[in-house]
A and B are shown apart, each in its own frame.
Chain A
């Protein structure tokens, strides 16, 4: 047995029994977007991707799980898409314009685009798709994002005009993230039930779906981007065990996999040193946080919440719970690099126990208090974060009890606001308005904190109504600082998106929040069967 193989075997031996850190050195560069494109793109081969769970539906307008979204992102297109820096890029619309009042968007469609089953994609299909996602009968969980849409009409077969009832600066990111263009004839043929069938315009077509085993996609030969996609087939192989996914990468049975738990990254890197796989990490738009019920006991006081912000050590939380696979963050993660302000701008991000104790005293809790932290074991980083935070709060005389809570129960408590505090994972999506409005505006649908602040509400509304980037940036910079000062939640760290892939996979570009869509442009350096 060679030394490297011993290393891999030893890592496998220890990993299942280990609950503590494995170390976290990394040779990969955070934020790097592509493998070096050293070879000319080939067409052909089968890319097998290891994913943790099965998809539940092929209807993107009803999808809420990450596995379905991963597959659907290769089947459908939207009018626009987001690039690696979260910039809006053309997709089915080649150009678009926005009226000076911010209320009218005009999209000019790409010519000669067909749905996979042959019918041409026209402006009326776009109008239908808007109507479908907004339809109360469909009850799409994403329809609220289109609440500002007043009217959608086809000006001609290749031009669509969308009129909003109020300016919405996040409209294009919303279209890119949640709208897909569907074929109304196909939808009608299936009585609106797209759970197991699809007819998109995307680079791949659904060929075979064996529940709980695999999903096979085959290349769309009529895809509108010349020369793409490159792989002949993409197979999503369902491998629930992380160790098994790593083993499958090692044995070459899969060539691409995402890993959500950072403690496995060290093992992945150990294997990467043997050159059989490549371990990569990218900035993620998800962040870990500690949320307060701002209507419960001591947490009604802003000073108590701010005291917690001063009392915790975010770098230590990142090291212990996130295995150093991430970055300390505010409400906007480093992945939203155009918008996020540096964490050094937040005074309470420097641990200061004396200041924390003073704030507690001013709030009327000089001797501390005790409370519960609800945390979901399904998100190991959040459960570990809760333990570290509870430990750190002892320094200011506060006793926290971590209550591991099964996911269904956790969501039920979250919906009913039946908690004192909780740890969880939140997403910035693709725009500061999407990251903040629903979570922080008074009565917002994901404002489980029951937080209400007039100044925050006003800035959120201004941010939504402002089109100019520089002005928006000013508003959201102010908001980021204000939110940390008000602390309805404590942002701890944004983990990395961790991937393992075969060294023969070339040309992969990572987009935070939509990491599989860009596989249409990736290829094998040499021929694969």
Chain B
């Protein structure tokens, strides 16, 4: 197991190097640069001033030199500074990632706690009213867009439950009570679609598992239904559920831009999208690299968790 984890981490190094190249090229090759976006179409500037600004932001150099400058800073552990705000990128990421991690983790916990039992009940009582109810709820979760649900909840809470209405983020460590209160509605908004996906995945995984021989044998030897469901059905259904949960969690850690925007949460999604719009190159590059590293890490944890869920799985 240890060797497997180390090997995976080593494999991640060239992957991350590839990410640096892709992230760098993507933001530099799209039309429009930081100086153009900053000046817009209304400022009265001379070509000399524009050249001076190019020099100031270091974008008058060839791309390979700019890339090498960024990479060499990265290798020294320096993520760099935002060109537009002058703030250290490490500070920006640590502030934003805290918000996103809390939002993603909260949504994931709520979704799993609701969706796994719902999916199991739907599968165990297939084609019963419980099944239809679970499938209906899951379908709703899939078809209701985040932006609409979030907007509705913002309006409804502002009118009827102003105490839940949140427009300024308070970190958990600053005031846990206020933080939890403020995060309830955004977490529910984000959790709904996640819940729908996990419910459907759980239902189909459980449906497959209950038809397997060892489940029938467990029932035949007289085990109670609850024990069969928990020990033999659920546990053997967990591999696909864990996979989908891990993937979704990885995506969410990259930022949930819609929910972050609607609820004014200063998370990773807003950080990256704002930086792209402003062509704040170092922020875009370093943030994407950070999110990629987190994604690789989450996938590694998921892969390792397979061995605990099913001891038959061995890592070579």
Contact = CB atoms under 8 A, between A and B. Distances in A.
Interface of A: 5, 8-9, 12-13, 15-17, 50, 53-54, 56-57, 64, 136, 139, 141-145, 193, 195-196, 211-214, 237-241, 243-244, 246-248, 250-254, 406-415, 424, 426-427, 438, 445-446, 448
Contacts of B38: 64, 141
B96 interface: yes
Nearest to B270: A212
Interface stretch (B44-52, B63-71, B293-301): B44-52
A334 B122 CA distance: 65
A214 B265 CA distance: 11
A123 to B, nearest CB: 27
Nearest to A429: B42
A17 B148 contact: yes
Nearest to B162: A251
B interface, size bucket: 35 or more
Interface stretch (B72-80, B233-241, B256-264): B256-264
Contact of A412 (B33, B46, B53): B33
Interface of B: 30-33, 36-46, 48-49, 52-53, 56, 84-87, 92, 95-96, 147-148, 151-152, 154-159, 162, 165, 167-169, 261-264, 266, 270-271, 274, 277-279
- When A and B form their complex, which 8 residue pairs have the shortest distance between CB atoms, in order from nearest? A408-B32, A212-B266, A12-B155, A247-B158, A412-B32, A251-B158, A412-B31, A139-B52
Contact of A244 (B36, B95, B96, B264): B264
Contacts of A5: 159
Contact of B40 (A9, A64, A144): A64
Given A141-B39, A141-B49, A251-B158, A240 B56 contact: no
Nearest to B271: A212
22 contacts: A16-B148, A16-B151, A64-B40, A64-B43, A139-B52, A141-B43, A145-B44, A211-B92, A213-B169, A238-B264, A243-B154, A244-B154, A244-B167, A246-B155, A247-B154, A247-B155, A250-B158, A408-B277, A408-B279, A413-B31, A445-B43, A445-B45
Contacts of B36: 408, 411-412, 415
Contacts of B39: 64, 141, 411
A251 B165 contact: yes
B37 to A, nearest CB: 5
Contacts of A211: 85, 87, 92, 95, 266
Contacts of B151: 12, 15-16, 241, 243-244
Among B33, B42, B85, B167, which residue has the most Cβ atoms of chain A within 10 A?
Answer: B167
A237 B263 CA distance: 12
Contacts of B154: 12, 241, 243-244, 247
A445 B39 CA distance: 11
Contacts of B33: 408, 412
Nearest to B85: A56
A152 to B, nearest CB: 20
